[in-house]
Amino acid sequence: MTTSRIRRQTQHQRWYDRLPLLVMTAAVAAALMLVPAIYAGWVGDHDAGRPFLYGALTFAAIILFIGLSVWTMDQNNAARAMLLSLVGTFALLPVMLALPVVEAMPGLSFRSAYLEMVSSLTTTGATVFSVPSRVPDTVHLWRALMGWYGGFIMWVASIAILAPLRIGGFELVLTSVSLGRDATLGRAVMAEYPMQRVWRFCRALAPVYGGLTLVAWLALLVAGETPFIAACHAMSVLSTSGISPVATLGQAASGLAGEIVLFVFLFFALSRGLFARDVPTPLGRKWYQDPELRLAVVMIAVVPLLVFSLHWVSLLEVLVLSSDLQPLRGYWGGQFMTLSFLSTGGFISADWETARNWSGLTTPGLILMGLAMIGGGVATTAGGVKLLRVYALARHSQFEMAKLVHPSIVANPGTRLRRFKPEAAYVAWLYFMIFAVTIAALMLAFSVVGADFDTSLVLTVAGLTTTGPLTIVAGDVPIELGLLSGPQQLLLCVAMVLGRLETLALIALLNPEFWRA
């Protein structure tokens, strides 16, 4: 983007370009409260729908007055303001989102409702409702809708906010390819009215996000799912929140066909190149040559095979397959769970128990936690370390191993072994260390407030990877989030916000240079 183009955008600034991001995200959230209110009125659940209707009207008025009061304020540091607004969206906005939930469910504490909304908005999917059938469908719809909304926020924020700051995985992208004349990801775009950039990507990505959700919903309907559960699952699979009105997919009406639909749409969390072309890529690279997608496909193919083969490793006397479909169902359960937790969606397959019994795994939670820590693609709704960082380290390690055999080897940047520059591998390794230190610090904090080692580990990994269903399947017994103490629930909220924004974003806020403007 040239200087003249920036000047023209400044001159043609619209009134809503001066509103802070936090005000706009809160306004949209208030408008979305009408969706569960209308649904509750449609099905006759007026007690659950009334708080959402009143909340939409009340918060709309409050946000209007706040917007009028801050509309004329100047943003001295646009990048800092946008990043702070993004932090406030995931940490403060759930306060507003939780109030209708508390009113719709008498007996639910505000603390638990806040945890539920932080989990939904960060697309974590951890829930305080241990028995989903006891929760009104209106509340389930609100949870899934907020997870869907949080996923779209990350779709836009990753390219409109995190990319110019070179965090969230873009610090690796921009050291791996040459931008040439494309300054879209340069810091200059954050200098004047960054909300123009946010609105531009909203307009570009909203049809894609909404269209994919609609296609997923129709596909689930064709598979035999009920309209309500299909809508919740369609929103959850695009946002990788894993939020569902049922405990497992085995209780869904669509059965195996529904799992196949979810399996297909989970691939959109593995690479941004599958739904957008706003991230710079090397010239001539096809979509199927995407390193994130290739690494994910390898893992999806290898991990289930290893789990499946454990049956014969532990039972060498079994030489033939069973006459029933248990082996095939066990393999499908491992295949689905691998992609589900690699994409940090966390949907639990109906055949997962069959896969565990067939393979004889005693600690399958460790495999699922490892997959969740690897995570999905850069600038997607997935959490974790990200596939691109793992790929960069793997390629750099391969090149270093080749140098041990041939010390004089030289590889140009176009060679596949040298696709990433040394600084890219260094940045990836640095993030790995920060991620590991954050895990250790949060586990220590959980231990201080009374959690045992297993609970601390599961809660920390589930929060930092935004994979809430780990609290159900990773340990020996499910963790009842509603029974956690106040400090433990607060720490889990901190972990989820850290996992959604990544630690590098908050480290940027602690940089003194970031505040000098």
DSSP summary character for residue 162: I
- Is residue 12 predicted with pLDDT exceeding 50? yes
Average pLDDT on 193-198 reads 80
Average pLDDT on 259-267 reads 95
- Is residue 79 predicted with pLDDT exceeding 90? no
Dihedral class, residue 109 (left if φ above 0, else alpha if ψ from -120 to 50, else beta): beta
Token digits for 375? Answer: 């995570």
pLDDT > 70 fraction of the chain, expressed in percent and rounded? 83
Listed residue (153, 161, 28) closest to 84, CA to CA: 161
Report yes or no: 80 and 515 within 8 Å, Cβ to Cβ.
yes
Among 6-20, 123-137, 188-202, 298-312, where is mean pLDDT lowest? Answer: 6-20
CA 477 to the chain's CA centroid: 24
Rg of the chain in Å (alpha carbons): 23
d(CA 16, CA 32): 19
Give the model confidence (pLDDT) of 311-324 as tens digits.
555 554 444 445 45
Backbone angles phi, psi at 120, to 5 degrees: -70, -50
d(CA 139, CA 263): 25
CA distances from 291 to 117, 119, 238, 288, 416 (A): 34, 30, 21, 8, 10
pTM greater than 0.85 (yes/no): yes
* 3-state secondary structure at position 465: coil
User: How high does pLDDT run on average in the chain?
Assistant: 84
- Is residue 358 predicted with pLDDT exceeding 90? no
Give the model confidence (pLDDT) of 309-355 as tens digits.
765 555 544 444 454 567 788 888 889 999 999 999 999 988 888 77
Q: What is the pLDDT of residue 273?
A: 86
Give the model confidence (pLDDT) of 432-471 as tens digits.
999 999 999 999 999 999 999 999 999 999 999 999 999 9
Give the model confidence (pLDDT) of 272-309 as tens digits.
888 888 777 766 677 777 889 999 999 999 988 887 77
Q: What is the pLDDT of residue 420?
A: 61
Backbone angles phi, psi at 81, to 5 degrees: -60, -40
Give the model confidence (pLDDT) of 121-175 as tens digits.
999 999 999 888 899 999 999 999 999 999 999 999 998 888 887 888 887 775 5
Q: What is the pLDDT of residue 149?
A: 97
Q: What is the pLDDT of residue 396?
A: 81
CA 152 to the chain's CA centroid: 10
Q: Where are the domains of the chain?
A: 3-210, 423-515
